[in-house]
Every structure is written in structure tokens, then in C-alpha cells.
Amino acid sequence: MMKIRIFNSLQCQKSHPQRSYPSSFHRFQTSATSSRAKKSNPFLSLTQDPNPSSFSVPYYSKLLSKCNASKTLYPGMQIHAHTLKFGSTNDPKSRNFLISLYAKCELFGYARKLVDESPEPDLVSWSALISGYAQNGFARDAILAFHDMHLLGLKCNEFTFPSVLKACTFTKDLELGRQVHGIVVVNGFESDEYVGNSLVVLYSKCGKFGDSRRLFEDIPERSVVSWNALFSCYVQSDYFGEAVELFREMILSGIRPNEFSLSSMINACTGLEDSGEGRKIHGFLIKLGYDSDPFSKNALVDMYAKIGNLEDAVVVFEEMTKPDIVSWNALIAGCVLNDKHDSALEFFGQMTLSGTHSNMFTLSSALKACAGIGLKELGRQLHCNLIKLNVGSDPFVHVGLIDMYSKSGLMNDARMVFNLMPDKDLIAWNAVISAHSQNGEDMEALLLFPLMHEAGVGFNQTTLSTVLKSVASLQVNYVCKQVHALSAKSGFQSDRYVVNSLIDACGKCAILEDATRIFRECLIVDLVGFTSIITAYSQSGQGEEALKLYLEMLDRGIEPDPYVCSSLLNASANLSAYEQGKQVHVHVLKHGFMYDNFAGNSLMNMYAKCGSIDDAERAFSSIPERGIVSWSAMIGGLAQHGHGKEALRVFNQMLKYGVSPNQITLVNVLCACNHAGLVTEAQKYFRSMKELFGFEPMQEHYACMIDLLGRAGRLDEAMELVNTMPFQADGSVWGALLGAARIHKNVEIGQRAAEMLLILEPEKSGTHVLLANIYASVGMWNNVAKMRRLMKDCNVKKEPGVSWIEVKDKIYTFIAGDRSHVWSEEIYAKLDELSERLSKAGYIPKVEFDLHDVERDEKEKLLYHHSEKLAVAFGLIATPAGAPIRVKKNLRVCMDCHTAFKFISKIVSREIILRDINRYHHFKDGSCSCGDYW
């Protein structure tokens, strides 16, 4: 009664009465007409001999035994029919052979019918039925049959228990498995090796490795089969290191491994990515004579390919006399995994020529290879082959197609594949959202996210990370906040990938407070998290905080990579923090990142923006593979420093190296001509842009040309270019024209440009200021007053001039008339001293550019207290004699300061490097690198 009660729960789970037959009954028709049924056989004489007495019952039993051993179904059915016809159906031995045969061939309806019709069904009959269910994957039917057998009072033996335990393992029903374990103990079979092995597998597959190991230790005589059972479970559960340790323990115990042991160990080495241990197992295979075993060979090919040793994988593959589809798949997939897409497709072609038919796994790997190198047409052909294979409903294949089409730039085809999917699962939705995001279609990616939610698919950390990437690209802060709230609500805010994506998105959406809070609340912050928050601070102009975070990262023992160093270099560049940038350069050298293109480009950019174009050129020369980004940055750096002819020389050198320019490169080339006044050269490149480089000029190119012509005093030509543009001029074009009008005091063109700018960019104060400057330069003070009133009425505030200077690794900030600095008295005393020396040197303040309606003396005083002059005065006090003074300003340097710095550089014998919003000015020995052309 106790044993019956143990299985009461099973009775509730039975989907059919005791005498009804499983749904698998209907599968006999397919099996009966299979290739096995059509084979010729030696038993046809049975149906041709009319005399039943010529065949005895033992002979029937012998024939059925052969059919059962070879799973020869059709002759077995003939023999069964013959016994029915001539009344020889009562032999238990023959009936058991038939039950076993039908169960093995998945004709469970026939098998169960024979069991139920037996006058006295024995343990052998039930064991054969249960084994057939378990071996063919019908675990629930096996368990129900075991329950029925148990109710009949039949006790299991060492052959029945392994099948029942296998069924429990298949369903991962640990509670039921423990009940069966109890019956095993009651019946005294816990010491049997096969039963013990089945129990070991059951507990390990259900995650109870401690119990599994104890059961393994309790097996009195452990053979290699027992060890293999344990190895297999550990490997399949990704406990690779533990599996290798067990293997060593088995070798020390004197047990000789077989091919199955070694195959499991090869898989463990693959999981560990341990080529050294893998080679040892390979040596075992050769030593023990299993090196020709096809399973072991396939495992070796897979291992060598996955650990990145493709040469050895190919060697093992070529030693195979007849590689099967598994062998080819392992090799091709390994090539794809190691980004050897050409090799993958080459092997795919060889496989086809060898006569081996590809399956969906082969074609999926080939699709990835096509995606990797952009072979669109071959990808389409593979798509056709997949359709012929009739795997159109397989989600794995669909995802591969979406990936292939998206990486080939065929987003319409990728979207069509997605739309035609009958059942779109989470992986498919993630694939199509990621495809849009990777192709720059961030809005499409964002629009799909709510549709995915409506479809009831849900989302995971991959979805959120991809969506946040698109949010960061679009810089839509309200969407960023919504996704942040959703992440917190759904519990994904503790996921490292989501946290890092949130920090990045919040930083790029200018929600720095949220980015900082997420970073500080994260329990475990890794290198990616630090890189994201450092980048956020750097991009928001808070370079000092970015550098502090870097020091905190080092204190935590986190080693930097090229990306975080690049972010720090960009922070130094934005601050013009030359000394701090040099310190980051030291870290780049220390960690061996000098040959990383990403870090190299950032290093070059930092030195260029910190005013050291010589250091920038040295960094440029050290970049091993200079791509278009490197060349464009170097040309732009030279242009901003006024080295126009040198920039053009570098551009021509780039063309000789075969590097094709892009639109940004041509903007930098035109800027180089602009800053150096090279009108003829600029016109040549501008007019032949389409012919020479294959693209039409854009707004930025027109703005450069208009600015260049305007600065050269050719305002009529500049205006004509504005009027003949193939598109509507934007703010950059009208801004260039307004700047040129200010230089040449052209009120008419200045007013026209200002009118357009006030329409396009009404919130910007620069337009009002520049127009007021034009009026002031020609003495139209009434108009200056009107502009000031207009700014007040429209609540437009002039952006204050701010200047920065770095002294001893610290950034100091100054605004006009600032007296908050601790050294204010010394700074203003230095300015007074300079004022006297400047007057003696012949300097005359440019008061006509001051818009304040005050007396000349007051205007001169206001000009002396500009932010850049305060910074330079502080630099003269706080830096060693003879050292260059590096200052950055957020606005264009005014005419008066520009004139004063030329005099100061000569008086104090110091180089002053000033970076304003437009370019760099190197003041030295009384002159400026711009040649007064800025």
C-alpha cells in the first residue's frame, strides 16, 4: 500500500484510461511503411508455406529474436501475422520479442495491446514497453506504464529501473525521481552499476551535483561507464573544470578511458578554451588507438576551431577518411566564429562538391559568413536553398536571414523575413530591432519596441541594451527616462549590461545626474561602466570629473583599455588640458595601447586641441594603420592651427596612399584653405569635388567656401554662391556670411545675414552681438542700442566669455572682470604692469569693438579685464619662465585681445597658445600664426 500511495500523484496526471493507447499509436503507419519495411528479408517463406507444422514455436521465437536485435520491423510483422493465422500466439517468449520490437520501432499501440492482452503479463513485457517509451523520448508514457505495472504488483529489476529513471531525467521531474529512488532502495538495487549510473545522471541533470557525486561514490564497482555518466553530466551543465578534475581522478584510479570519455573531455576543454589540456586529450586519443573514432574526430575539429586554432582543426579534419555533415559543420562554424568568412565559404563549396548535403546548420553558418563579408547574392541563393529544405518555419533560420540581410545593408529584405515569420519569438524581435539599430535606423528600432510589448513577447536585457543604444544615438531624453523606469520596474536595473547601457544613454542625453546615480548605485562596476560614465562627463564638458573617475577606477584595481583612455584624452582635449593629456599618454604607453588605432586617433586629437601640433604629428606617425579617420583628423588639426599648406600636403599624401577621402575630409581641406587664405586652391577642390571624389558638396562645404570668400573680401562672390546653392542655406552658411560682413564692416550684407539667422536660430545671442559689432565698427551707436534693447525684449542673453588655463594639473576658469580667484590681487597687478609696458610698445586698445556706451577710459578698462587676458596674466605668474601659456576660450577671441597678445608675446618672450571657438592662435615674437586672418 505504501508503494501504491507513492504513485498517487501519477494517477492524476494520466491523460488516458489504463486500457487506452497513447497518442503515439498513430505513428505506426509511418513506421510500417518506412525503408525498413521495404527491405528484402529471408522470412518471406513464412507466408508462402501453407503448412504451419513446418515451423515450430521455438523457431518463431528464434526468428523474432533476430528481428528484434536488428529492429527489422516488416518481417517481424509477417511473423506476427503468421502466428495469429495458425494459432501460435501463446508463447510468452515470442510475445515479449514482439513487444520489444514494436516498442523499439515506435509502434507503441501494438506493443501496449500485446501487453494488455497477455494472460499473465510478466516483468519482461513491461520492461520492454517502458524501455521503448524511454529510448524514443516518450518519457511521460514510460512513467505512466511504470505506474500501471506497479499497480499490478510486479517488482522492477535492474533492467526496468534505468528506463524509468531515464524518463524522470528527461522530464527533469526530481520529485518523482526521488520516489523511484526510494523503490530502488527498498528493492535492493542501489548497488547495481547501471541503476546507480541512472541515478547519478538523474540528480546531476536536475542540478543536484552534491547528491549525484555521493551516489557515484556509493557505487561499489565503478567502471568507465559510470565515470562517463558523471563526465557527461558535468560537461552538459558547463562544469568543465570539475569534469577535467574527475577525468584525472579516474586515470589515477587505474580506469582506462574509452572513446566516450575522451569525447566528453574534448568538449570540456572546448568549454574551458584550454588548448593545452585539449592537446593532452588528443594525445590520449592517439595513444589509446581512438584517433580514428569519428565522434572523437568531430569533437577535436570543434574544439580546435572554437579555441581559435583553425590550422589544427583543418589538420584533424583532413585526416578523416570520410567527414560527415557534423564534421563539415564544425569546421565551417569554427571559421565563422574566428571571422574567417572567406575560409568558411571555401569549405562550404568543398563540402558541396564532395556530395555531402548541407542542412540548416550548415546554411546558417554560411549565412553568417555572407553577412560578414557582404556577399548579398550568395546570401540570397542560400535563402533559396533553405526554402527548398522546407525549414521556413524554423526561428533559428529566420534570425540568421535577418542578420545576413541587415549586415548586407538590405534592411527591406530583413524586415520582410521578419514580417513573414509565423511565430515571432523574443530572439527574432531582438534580431530585427538590433538590425535597425546597427544600420543607423534608430527611430525604426525604437518604434518596434512598443509593438514587441503589444505582441506579448516580453523583453530581456538584450532588448533594453539595444533600445538604449538607439536612444543614445537619437539623444531623446524623455524616451531615455521611460526606458530607465521600465528597466527599474522589471528588475533589469541590476543587470550589468543594462546598467552600462543606461549610463551611456543618460550621459549622451545630457541627463548626467541620472547617469551618476545609476553608476553609484551599481553594486559591481566594471571597466565598461567606468568607460561609460567617464565618457559622459567628458562629453558634457566636465573633464576634471572624468579624470577623477579614472583615478578612482585605478584605485579599484580595474585596468584601463584603449576606449577609456580615448575618453580621457577627449576630456583633456575639450579642456585643453595639455599636462593632464600627457599623463594619460603615459598610461597609453604603459599599457601598450600606442598601436591601437582608436587610442592613437584620440591621442593625436588631444595634442592638436591642446595646441601642440608637433606632438599631434608625432602621434599621427605612430599609428600603424592610418584610416580615413586618422588622415581627416590630422588635416583638420593642421587646418585649425593655420598650417594650410601643410594640411594640403598631408591630403595629397593620403591620396597617394590610396585612401579615399570622405565628406568630412573635404570639409577639413576647405577649412585649411580658409584659415590660410588659399582661395584658388579651395575653389579647385570645391568645383571638382564630384568629378574627383564622387560626391556633391554639402551645406558644410558651401559654408566653408562662403566664409573663405567673405574673409578674402570677395563678398559679392560669396553672396552669389549663397543664391545659387542647390538647397536652402542653413545657419552655418548665413553665420559665415555674417562673420565676413563683420570683418569688412559691410552693414547691408550683415543685416541680410542677421535677418535670416534670427529666423533660423532665434535663440542664439551670437547673431545680435555680431550685428551690433558691425554697427559699432562704423559708428552706428543708435543701432547698437536698438540691438541691445531687442536682446533684452526677446530675453536673449549674451553668452559670457569664459577662458580656461591649466596649471600644475589643475584647470582654472576665468570670466570677464572675475575677482573670485585666490590670486586676484596678483593677477590684476600683473595686468596693470602689462598695461604700462604695452603702451610703451605702441599698443592702442581697440575700443571701437566694445559695445558698452561708456567713456573711452572705461572701455579700455573693460577690455583689459577680458577673460582671456585674466587667464594669460595668471599664466605669467603661475608658470615657469619661458614655458608656453595655453588658454582656451569658449567664444571667438576679440580683436583687442588678439592685438594685445601679439605685443605681450614679444614683451615677455613667451609663446601664448590661444584656442578659441574657431581655431588656434600661436602668438610668438609679436606675431600670430593666423597672419591676422581669422
Tell me: the pLDDT tens digits for 632-648? Answer: 999 999 998 888 899 99
Q: Which residue pairs from 29-36 have beta carbons closer than 8 angstroms and sit at least 24 positions apart in sequence?
A: 31/73, 31/105, 31/106, 31/107, 32/73, 32/74, 32/77, 32/107, 34/73, 36/71, 36/72, 36/73, 36/74, 36/105
Flag the least confident range among 714-723, 732-741, 794-803: 794-803
Q: Say which residue the cell 505504501 belongs to.
A: 2
Q: Select from 200, 126, 136 the least CA-distant residue to 169.
A: 200
Q: What letter does residue 420 receive in the DSSP assignment?
A: T
- For residue 21, count other CB atoms closer than 10 A to its CB: 17
pLDDT at 743: 82
Q: What is the mean pLDDT of residues 377-384?
A: 81
Task: Give the DSSP H or E segment for 612.
Answer: none
Beta bridge partners of 805: 812, 887
Cβ-proximal residues to 24 (8 Å cutoff; 6+ apart), any chain: 106, 108, 109, 138, 141
pLDDT at 849: 55
37: left (phi over 0), alpha (psi -120 to 50) or beta: alpha
Answer yes or no: is 535 within a domain.
yes
Q: What is the mean pLDDT of residues 872-879?
A: 94
pLDDT at 25: 33
Q: How confident is the model at residue 578 (pLDDT cuts 50, 70, 90)?
A: confident
Say whether both 900 and 815 belong to one domain.
Answer: yes
For residue 218 the three cell numbers come to 556509493
Distance, in Å, from the CA atom of 277 to the CA atom of 280, rounded to the nearest integer, reads: 5
Say whether both 771 and 881 belong to one domain.
Answer: no
pLDDT at 8: 38
Q: Select from 85, 66, 78 the least CA-distant residue to 32.
A: 78
Q: What is the mean pLDDT of the chain?
A: 82
694: left (phi over 0), alpha (psi -120 to 50) or beta: left
Q: How confident is the model at residue 393 (pLDDT cuts 50, 70, 90)?
A: low
Out of 694, 715, 745, pick the residue that ends a domain. Answer: 694
Contact (Cβ atoms closer than 8 angstroms) between residue 543 and residue 575: yes
How many angstroms separate the first and last alpha carbons of the chain? Answer: 102
CA dihedral sign, ordered 845, 848, 849, 853: positive
Say whether both 676 and 598 belong to one domain.
Answer: no
Tell me: the pLDDT tens digits for 112-133? Answer: 888 877 777 788 888 888 888 8
Q: What letter does residue 54 receive in the DSSP assignment?
A: G
What are the C-alpha distances in Å from 722 to residues 487, 749, 908?
49, 12, 45
Distance, in Å, from the CA atom of 123 to the CA atom of 115, rounded to the nearest integer, reads: 10
Q: Select from 398, 453, 386 the least CA-distant residue to 423.
A: 398
Answer yes or no: is 293 within a domain.
no
Q: Select from 933, 931, 860 the least CA-distant residue to 897.
A: 860
For residue 597 the three cell numbers come to 588605432
Range of the domain at 771: 698-799
pLDDT at 444: 93
Q: At what angle do helices 360-373 and 325-337 cross, to 10 degrees?
A: 20
Say whether both 538 and 472 belong to one domain.
Answer: no
pLDDT at 57: 66
Q: Say which residue the cell 578523416 belongs to.
A: 320
Say whether both 560 and 659 belong to one domain.
Answer: no
Task: Give the DSSP H or E segment for 753.
Answer: helix 747-760
Q: How confident is the model at residue 11 (pLDDT cuts 50, 70, 90)?
A: very low
Distance, in Å, from the CA atom of 297 to the CA atom of 291, rounded to the nearest integer, reads: 7
Q: How confident is the model at residue 58 (pLDDT cuts 50, 70, 90)?
A: confident
Three-state DSSP class for residue 301: helix
Check residues 24 and 249 and name the one with the higher pLDDT: 249
Answer yes or no: is 872 within a domain.
yes
Say whether both 668 and 775 belong to one domain.
Answer: no
For residue 845 the three cell numbers come to 586698445
Q: Where are the alpha helices (DSSP H) in 209-293?
A: 209-218, 224-236, 240-252, 259-272, 275-288
Query: Exposure pattern of 609-645 as b/e (b: 16+ CB <10 Å)?
Result: bbbbbebbbebbeebeebeebbbbbbbbbbbbbbbbe
Say whether both 823 and 924 belong to one domain.
Answer: yes
Check residues 653 and 358 and name the one with the higher pLDDT: 653
Q: What is the mean pLDDT of residues 22-26?
A: 35
pLDDT at 4: 33
pLDDT at 544: 78
Answer yes or no: is 323 within a domain.
no
Say whether both 897 and 917 belong to one domain.
Answer: yes
For residue 824 the three cell numbers come to 586676484
- For residue 880, count other CB atoms closer than 10 A to its CB: 5
Say whether both 719 and 815 belong to one domain.
Answer: no
The torsion of the CA quartet 591, 595, 598, 603, rounded to 10 degrees, works out to: 80
Q: What is the mean pLDDT of residues 560-576?
A: 86
**CB-based burial label for 108 (10 Å; 0-12, 13-18, 19+):** buried
Distance, in Å, from the CA atom of 413 to the CA atom of 405, rounded to the nearest integer, reads: 6
Answer yes or no: is 294 within a domain.
no
CA dihedral sign, ordered 13, 17, 19, 23: negative
Distance, in Å, from the CA atom of 76 to the CA atom of 19, rounded to the nearest integer, reads: 24
What are the C-alpha distances in Å from 740 to residues 83, 665, 703, 749, 871?
110, 24, 11, 9, 28
Answer whether residue 623 shows pLDDT above 80. yes
pLDDT at 860: 65
The torsion of the CA quartet 682, 684, 690, 693, rounded to 10 degrees, works out to: -80
Contact (Cβ atoms closer than 8 angstroms) between residue 538 and residue 530: no
Q: How confident is the model at residue 79 (pLDDT cuts 50, 70, 90)?
A: confident
Phi, psi of 293 (to 5 degrees): -65, 125
- For residue 111, count other CB atoms closer than 10 A to its CB: 29
Say whether both 811 and 910 belong to one domain.
Answer: yes
pLDDT at 705: 92
Answer yes or no: is 818 within a domain.
yes
Q: Structural domain tally of the chain? A: 5
Answer yes or no: is 45 within a domain.
no
Distance, in Å, from the CA atom of 229 to the CA atom of 166, rounded to the nearest integer, reads: 12
Distance, in Å, from the CA atom of 307 to the CA atom of 328, rounded to the nearest integer, reads: 17
Say whether both 847 and 870 belong to one domain.
Answer: yes
Contact (Cβ atoms closer than 8 angstroms) between residue 864 and residue 831: yes
Q: Select from 601, 739, 676 the least CA-distant residue to 929.
A: 676
pLDDT at 539: 81
Flag the least confident range among 27-31, 44-48, 150-154, 325-329: 27-31
CA dihedral sign, ordered 558, 564, 565, 569: negative
Answer whether residue 71 shows pLDDT above 90. no
Say whether both 506 and 533 belong to one domain.
Answer: no
Contact (Cβ atoms closer than 8 angstroms) between residue 374 and residue 386: no
* CATH at 595: 1.25.40
**CB-based burial label for 331 (10 Å; 0-12, 13-18, 19+):** buried
pLDDT at 325: 92
For residue 587 the three cell numbers come to 598610461
Flag the least confident range among 374-383, 498-507, 851-860: 851-860
Answer whether residue 49 shows pLDDT above 70. no
**CB-based burial label for 406 (10 Å; 0-12, 13-18, 19+):** buried
Q: What is the Rg, in whole angstroms, of the alpha carbon atoms belonging to the chain? A: 41
pLDDT at 243: 85
- Beta-strand pair 810-815/885-889: unpaired
Distance, in Å, from the CA atom of 436 to the CA atom of 425, rounded to the nearest integer, reads: 17
Distance, in Å, from the CA atom of 709 to the CA atom of 691, rounded to the nearest integer, reads: 22
pLDDT at 903: 93
For residue 114 the three cell numbers come to 500485446
Contact (Cβ atoms closer than 8 angstroms) between residue 588 and residue 572: no
- For residue 693, count other CB atoms closer than 10 A to its CB: 16
Out of 572, 594, 625, pick the residue that ends a domain. Answer: 625
Q: What letter does residue 801 receive in the DSSP assignment?
A: P
Task: Give the DSSP H or E segment for 923.
Answer: strand 920-924
Distance, in Å, from the CA atom of 481 to the CA atom of 471, rounded to the nearest integer, reads: 10
Out of 694, 719, 736, pick the residue that ends a domain. Answer: 694
Q: Say which residue the cell 540568421 belongs to.
A: 400
Answer yes or no: is 139 within a domain.
no
Answer whether residue 841 shows pLDDT above 50. yes
- Beta-strand pair 802-807/885-889: antiparallel
